[in-house]
Amino acid sequence: MLDNLIQPSEFELEFLSEYGLFLLKAATIVVAIILVFGFIISAGQKQRSVNKGEIKITNLGEEIKDHKQAIQSEVLSKAELKALLKQEKDQQKKEQKADKKKVKAEKTTDKTGEKSPEEVKKRLYVIDFDGDVEASGVESLREEITAVLATANKKDEVLLRLKSPGGMVHAYGLAASQLSRIRDAGHKLTIAVDEVAASGGYMMACVADNIIAAPFAVIGSIGVIAEIPNFNRLLKRANVDYEQHTAGDFKRTLTMFGENTSHGRDKFKQELEETHQLFKSFINQNRPALEIEKVATGEHWYGTQALELGLIDSISTSDDLITKATKDKDVYSVKYEIKKPLTDKLSISLHGMLDRFVLRWIQRSSQSNLYK
């Protein structure tokens, strides 16, 4: 009787056998996945060192025209559409003839005796900057500006569609310096703010010859902020000693784990004030008519208020500006796209799958709770 109780049944043996095989298969799959990931990561690292970005050009005038024609083809009758297309074709021929005549008339001879035609139409290059705290878009921005300056004629202009709440001083200082290259090269620079250009974002905007903003775009925040938590009292309660050694009185003014002193705080505040003064000086240099002390309080304003204060030059959106420009200019979007390594693409896909799985699990869980 006791032997029957101790010995496993046939069903239990079969279950243990199948479970063992399952664990073995699972372990094999896990090892295979790890090996595949290792290969992908090593390949991705090689790609990252080799692959660089590429400049992508989009003719915004043609894009707007295509959208217009798509709508017209739906809302107009066949006869109306045919008449309109014929009219546009005739107009295009006239413009091409006028352009050819203008090119012949404007041909100039340089010192070498070679003739070079001037561009008939001005070009507007459109660049986008969507800033984060680290202004990580600076790498793409510098490539885009370099590409534009390498091909632009003196008559050409640049429009930067700017969106940034600000961030690190040195990073946004570099971004503003990149924009200064456009002005230094003699090209008109317009910056359009549809949503926000605050703090470091406004540091970039003030470089422009002309700043436009949407009515409710957030503008300003000309100030400097720094904050740091301190865990020193928590460490003392846990009887944890923290040591930090420096050479130089102000190598480290405030610390997260050590005991901060009034001497260090005063120096830290002094450095913030000096940074603020540099910020104000930079803005005053680029927009001398602005009452800097009135606006450099760290406050922000909406577009219509910013116009009254002189922070911007007019109220408009980037879309209106581009649409108007297409009437007498060739408008091109310039974007430097960095090819993402396979590891990054895989990571994004895995994150998406995980998010969808968790969301479905939550939904099913909530539904099961409702039906109980």
Residues marked as catalytic: 199, 251
- Residues 243/346, Cβ–Cβ less than 8 Å: no
Rg, C-alpha atoms of the chain: 31
- C-alpha 34/C-alpha 42 separation (Å) is 12
- C-alpha 223/C-alpha 199 separation (Å) is 6
> Could you tell me how many residues make up the chain?
372
Question: Quick count: other Cβ atoms within 10 Å of Cβ 37?
Answer: 12
82 alpha-carbon distance from chain centroid: 42
- For residue 318, what is the enclosing H or E element? helix 318-325
Reading the block at residue 295, the tokens are: 């606006």
- C-alpha 167/C-alpha 127 separation (Å) is 20
Q: What angle do CA 179, 218, 181 make, to 5 degrees?
A: 5
Give the position of tokens 């005739």.
90
- C-alpha 142/C-alpha 128 separation (Å) is 12
**CA separation, residue 44 to residues 51, 189, 201, 341, 347 (Å):** 10, 38, 33, 5, 11
- DSSP-derived letter for residue 341 is P
